[in-house]
Amino acid sequence: MMRKVSGSKRGASRQNSLAVVRRRLTRRSFLKLGGAGLAGAALLGVPGCSGGGGGNGNGEFTFAMGQDTTGALPGLVERFNQQYEGQYVCNYREMPTDTGQYFDQLRTEFQAGGGDIDVIGGDVIWPAQFAAFGFLVDLSDRFPESERGSFLPGPVDSNIYEGAIYGLPWYTDAGLLYYRQDLLEQSGFSEPPQTWEELKEQAQKVVQDSGTENGFVFQGADYEGGVVNALEYVYSHGGRVLDENDPNTVVVDSPEAAAGLQTERSMIEDGVSPQSVATYTETECEPIFLRGESVFLRAWPQTYSIAGNPQDSVIEQAQVGVAPLPAGPGGQSVSGLGGWNLFINAASDPEAQEAGYEFIRFLTSSEQQRAYAQEGSRLPTLQELYEEQEVLDAVPVIELAGEQTLQNAEPRPVSPFYSDMSLRMGEQFNASLNGELSPEEALQTLQEELEQIIEQGQNTVA
């Protein structure tokens, strides 16, 4: 299929070059060339142009997904088209790589009533945001509870909004603790820290022994990543943002959540993290750790493959250890959940929806998830795959951290107004980390702000 899409581009560029050529050629040779060019454009371009209409009777549908930087996705689509030749045709439409821009574009298309896209590859925080407005097909009948058990629980939960399920988990991501194995050993620690307190002790000791600049770096800036990081502290101390049974009740202003933010803040207060960690995103943290200037790093699984790459990294992969994030005093370790799900556009016609669902089953099948892990290092959402050595070899970081990390991953608050909540959370969590507000003050403000969003949101949806 990809051949067809690029074919239409070739046709278009041929027409452009014709316009340039026209001025220089005689009329006769122009006609000859033009005829050939038009015929070529017709041959190559027409099949490509028919994409995007949704099902037009021949099982054709459009799949939207941000550009895959690993380059493995077009191959998956191609395989689907070969396997279902004569039955279904999937047109892959590349969307912006930036998640925010992609979300924005989808939202605009949905609002325009767009049936152009049939299957959507989307971030784990999107289901509620789209489902609340009726943009997604309810998949509860097609994907019953009996089938959900084979997937990791966190990614499945991220698709549930008000009791119905709107998507299937495709691949996942979870926050991990990276540490300098060599330095820890030198200071006499044989195990990575189990709790945040231990992390601080180890970091202080190692920094003292080895003279490393920083103990621990993580993403503390006022942005989505900062929200995920702060939520890991809140969750691991037993705090919640919204009531689990009633997503319209805000419970973030609790002693547990405050203890979590206090622990995050104490990383700076106790000198384990630099004050400027409150301005760090992945872009700042990763190089610090890879330059060997920090003992610990909180990051996503992809970082592991960069460690040891001599272009980006001073330290060797053998010096890096990976562990689940430390636990709070209650004894639980919680990773922020990332990853992508697959949804169906409610506005596309039934035939395309049917074909699209086949495609979703195809992508989430163990065979294709295994292939995506091997070709694109994506973490599968099917639990059984983590028992296979060849999958673990493809994503060694999970073998190191243990599959338990993925089991312990928790989604961010599920709300149709997550975008608004995220802005508020980002701001208050950052103010607390920065020391502008005490954790209690920040949470009190956040509680009021989130309540206001829910109240405002209920008026909007209703």
Partner 1 sequence: MTTTPVKQKKRGGLREEFRNPERRTAYYMILPALFIILVVAFYPIAYSLYLSFHQANINVVGNFVGFQNYVLMFQNTEFLEGLRNTLIFTVVSVFFEFVIGLAIALAINQAFRGRGLVRAAILVPWAFPTVISAVMWRLMFQDQVGIIQYAASTLGIISDPILSSQTLLLIGAILVDTWKTTPFMALLILAGLQTIPGEVYEAARVDGASVWQRFFRITLPLLKPAILVAVLFRTLDAYRIYDLFWAMSNRELESLSTFVYKGVRISQLNFAVGNAASVFIFITAFLIAIFFIKGLGMQTSTEE
Chain residues binding partner 1 by CB under 8 A are: 100, 104, 107, 111, 129, 133, 221-223, 274-276, 278-279, 281, 284, 287-288, 293, 416-417, 419-420, 423, 434, 453, 456-457, 460
Report the nearest approach of partner 1 to the CB of residue 456 (Å). 5
Pick between residue 30 and residue 133 the one whose CB is nearest to partner 1.
Answer: 133
Report the nearest approach of partner 1 to the CB of residue 258 (Å). 21
Q: Are 407 and 444 in contact (CB under 8 A)?
A: no
Length of the chain: 462
Pick between residue 115 and residue 239 the one whose CB is nearest to partner 1.
Answer: 115
Nearest to 184 by CA among 171, 201, 172: 201
Pick between residue 217 and residue 395 the one whose CB is nearest to partner 1.
Answer: 217
Strands 294-299 and 214-217: parallel
Residue 132, helix vs strand vs coil? coil
Pick between residue 53 and residue 457 the one whose CB is nearest to partner 1.
Answer: 457
Q: Are 222 and 437 in contact (CB under 8 A)?
A: no
Residue 409, helix vs strand vs coil? strand
Find the largest Cα–Cα distance for the chain.
Answer: 85
Q: Are 190 and 212 in contact (CB under 8 A)?
A: no
Pick between residue 93 and residue 107 the one whose CB is nearest to partner 1.
Answer: 107
Report the nearest approach of partner 1 to the CB of residue 188 (Å). 28
Nearest to 121 by CA among 339, 337, 335: 339
Report the nearest approach of partner 1 to the CB of residue 301 (Å). 23
Give the span between the Cα atoms of 243 and 240, in whole angstroms: 7
Report the nearest approach of partner 1 to the CB of residue 429 (Å). 13
Report the nearest approach of partner 1 to the CB of residue 303 (Å). 17
Residue 345, helix vs strand vs coil? strand
Pick between residue 10 and residue 107 the one whose CB is nearest to partner 1.
Answer: 107
Q: Which two tokens stand for residue 409?
A: 């991953």
Give the span between the Cα atoms of 43 and 40, in whole angstroms: 5
Strands 335-344 and 119-123: antiparallel
Measuring CA to CA, how many Å separate 111 from each of 157, 351, 352, 389?
Answer: 26, 22, 19, 45
Pick between residue 133 and residue 189 the one whose CB is nearest to partner 1.
Answer: 133
Report the nearest approach of partner 1 to the CB of residue 434 (Å). 5
Report the nearest approach of partner 1 to the CB of residue 420 (Å). 5
Pick between residue 380 and residue 416 the one whose CB is nearest to partner 1.
Answer: 416
Pick between residue 40 and residue 457 the one whose CB is nearest to partner 1.
Answer: 457
Report the nearest approach of partner 1 to the CB of residue 290 (Å). 12
Q: What is the residue-wise DSSP string for 225-283?
A: HHHHHHHHHHHHTT--SB-SS-TTSB--SSHHHHHHHHHHHHHHHTTSS-GGGGG--HH
Pick between residue 338 and residue 416 the one whose CB is nearest to partner 1.
Answer: 416
Report the nearest approach of partner 1 to the CB of residue 82 (Å). 40
Q: Are 153 and 335 in contact (CB under 8 A)?
A: no
Q: Are 106 and 118 in contact (CB under 8 A)?
A: no
Give the span between the Cα atoms of 16 and 211, in whole angstroms: 61
Phi first, then psi: give them for residue 5, nearest 5 degrees.
-65, -45
Q: Which two tokens stand for residue 225?
A: 């990543």
